[in-house]
Amino acid sequence: MKKLTIDENIVDKISLGAIVKIRDELLEMQRMGKKIYRLESGDPSFNVQDHIKDAMIEAIKNNKTHYTESTGLPELKKAISEKLKKKNEIFDNEPENIIVTNGGMNGLYVAFRSILNESDNVIIPDPMWTEIAEIIKLSGGNPIYVDSNNYANSVEKIKFPDLKAIFINSPHNPTGKVFSRHDFEKIINFASDHGIFIISDEAYEDIIFDGKKHFSPGSEYENTISLFSLSKTYAMSGLRIGYIHTRNNKIVERIGKMVRVTINGVNSVAQHGARAALSGPQYFIKAMRDEYQKRRDIIYDSLVNSKFLEPIKPEGAFYIWCKIKEMPAGVNDSFTMTDYILRKTGVGSIPGPVFGPSGKDHIRFAFSADTKIIEEASSILKNLE
Ligand code: PLP
């Protein structure tokens, strides 16, 4: 029998390392009976609204459990199209240019895969939610990190061959930054001058604080691939619904093919729930946003006087990015710092380097957990010695 050999594969280029390790550790500590505060991951604490649940129950009862059109149910695409006009000011959109995906993550993968060839470069903010760089690598491309603080100004100076896209995520995971209209104008000019795509990840479009407004570059720049998710706005994270809009027909065709040969459409019941979510009442989004803002204030106020950490006040999303200003004895980097905090307080966090080179000496907490948990964890963190 010939021995099976497994050659190196593109998947070997991606890593899941640090976050998986931390999650496993938290779960293990929880199993051992220790009180653990899961501030390492961003999963909304809210429940799905009843009218969305009812739509899914109805779909099951009425046997709407068969294959759907692989790029999405027409009635869902129609609801998305209306939403894009009303909320994102993407007026000239057609249901044919919308693809429903298995959560935002699947959308990100098919979007990058549809534009990248081997060794193509994509500019991404540093720091950035880990998965973005990994998805770009999995699509054959190279992520080029650019300081997120000064993103719009820094990209103007970039001279890279084989540049295919600039990626933007506003509100931004992990810093909570909401990019200004002025930043977007510079990014649009840059993309337009270079003839490249803007990939705009708008997963947190509704989680914006202090009255700041969300901006969708797809409303102004033709070559935008806009990505949305129902995970955060409607707390539908486990139902895995996202969608893409782009005016570029070639990209629509490629994404359509990829969706067909991989997932062949998203779970029909979840799509009926998504239609109800997008076309039903929206008042609870404000209530949820207000609650996140309250949590943001609680955790920020407790960390701002911390001996060891210096938090950046997030303008949106539900993460708080902290610089380590002083290391306790025995701590020498972000990894040992997250470990120190976990052992001393039971609060989980993620070490900054996981999000890119500038994450050195930083850590990230999420405040998507229930307000009571955020209150308890914050009062413990306040007294961290
Ligand atoms: N984009 C960003 C920046 C995220 O942080 C997330 C999830 O945390 C997503 C996209 C995708 O979320 P989902 O796949 O649940 O839609």
- DSSP labels for 82-135? HHHHHTT---S--GGGEEEEEHHHHHHHHHHHHH--TT-EEEEEES--HHHHHH
Parallel, antiparallel, or unpaired for β 319-324 and 309-311? Answer: antiparallel
* Rounded mean pLDDT, 41-45: 94
Which residue puts its alpha carbon closest to atom 11 of ligand 1?
A: 104
- Based on the fold, state whether residues 56 and 71 are members of the same structural domain: yes
Tell whether 5 is covered by a domain. Answer: no
Q: Give the pLDDT confidence of 316-329 residue by residue, as tens digits.
A: 999 999 999 999 99
Tell whether 174 is covered by a domain. Answer: yes
Q: Quick one: DSSP state of residue 74?
A: H
| Rounded distance between C-alpha atoms, residue 200 and residue 220, angstroms | 12
Q: Which domain holds residue 377?
A: 10-47+284-382
Residue 319: left if φ>0, alpha if ψ -120 to 50, beta else—which one?
Answer: beta
Tell whether 134 is covered by a domain. Answer: yes
Mean pLDDT estimate for the chain: 96
pLDDT at 16: 80
- Based on the fold, state whether residues 185 and 137 are members of the same structural domain: yes
- Least Cα distance to 297 among 283, 285, 314, 272 occurs for 314
Of residues 186 and 17, more confidently modeled: 186
Query: pLDDT-based confidence at 287, cuts 50/70/90?
Result: very high
* Rounded mean pLDDT, 143-152: 94
pLDDT at 98 over 90: yes
Residue that is last in its domain, among 217, 247, 279? 279
Cβ atoms of residues 122 and 111 within 8 Å: no
Tell whether 28 is covered by a domain. Answer: yes
Give residue 61 CA to ligand 1 midpoint distance, Å. 30
| Rounded distance between C-alpha atoms, residue 128 and residue 190, angstroms | 20
pLDDT at 17 over 80: no
Residue that is last in its domain, among 263, 279, 295? 279
Binding site membership of 200 for ligand 1 (Cβ less than 6 Å): no
Tell whether 3 is covered by a domain. Answer: no
- Based on the fold, state whether residues 90 and 128 are members of the same structural domain: yes
- Based on the fold, state whether residues 240 and 102 are members of the same structural domain: yes
- Based on the fold, state whether residues 209 and 354 are members of the same structural domain: no
- Based on the fold, state whether residues 26 and 130 are members of the same structural domain: no
- Beta-carbon contacts of 5 under 8 Å, excluding residues fewer than 6 positions away, are none
- Based on the fold, state whether residues 24 and 134 are members of the same structural domain: no
Token duo for residue 292: 């996140």
* Rounded mean pLDDT, 290-299: 98
**CATH number assigned to the domain comprising residue 237:** 3.40.640.10
Tell whether 1 is covered by a domain. Answer: no
- Based on the fold, state whether residues 56 and 107 are members of the same structural domain: yes
Binding site membership of 104 for ligand 1 (Cβ less than 6 Å): yes
* Rounded mean pLDDT, 93-97: 95
Give residue 383 CA to ligand 1 midpoint distance, Å. 32
Tell whether 349 is covered by a domain. Answer: yes
- Based on the fold, state whether residues 191 and 321 are members of the same structural domain: no
Mutate to test the pocket of ligand 1, among 232, 243, 319 (most ligand atoms within 8 A of CB): 232
Query: pLDDT-based confidence at 213, cuts 50/70/90?
Result: very high
Binding site membership of 174 for ligand 1 (Cβ less than 6 Å): no
* Rounded mean pLDDT, 358-369: 97
Binding site membership of 42 for ligand 1 (Cβ less than 6 Å): yes
**CATH number assigned to the domain comprising residue 309:** 3.90.1150.10
Cβ atoms of residues 154 and 133 within 8 Å: no
Query: pLDDT-based confidence at 303, cuts 50/70/90?
Result: very high
Number of domains in the chain: 2
Tell whether 2 is covered by a domain. Answer: no
Place of tokens 């999303």: 317
| Rounded distance between C-alpha atoms, residue 340 and residue 328, angstroms | 8
| Rounded distance between C-alpha atoms, residue 140 and residue 119, angstroms | 6
Binding site membership of 352 for ligand 1 (Cβ less than 6 Å): no
Residue that is last in its domain, among 227, 248, 279? 279
pLDDT at 206 over 90: yes
pLDDT at 138: 95
Q: Give the pLDDT confidence of 257-271 residue by residue, as tens digits.
A: 999 999 999 999 999
Token duo for residue 362: 């930083």
- Based on the fold, state whether residues 24 and 54 are members of the same structural domain: no
- Based on the fold, state whether residues 80 and 171 are members of the same structural domain: yes
- Based on the fold, state whether residues 56 and 194 are members of the same structural domain: yes
Give residue 203 CA to ligand 1 midpoint distance, Å. 6
Cβ atoms of residues 110 and 138 within 8 Å: no
Query: pLDDT-based confidence at 159, cuts 50/70/90?
Result: confident
Of residues 155 and 362, more confidently modeled: 362
Binding site membership of 205 for ligand 1 (Cβ less than 6 Å): no
Token duo for residue 374: 């955020």
Mutate to test the pocket of ligand 1, among 40, 129, 175 (most ligand atoms within 8 A of CB): 129
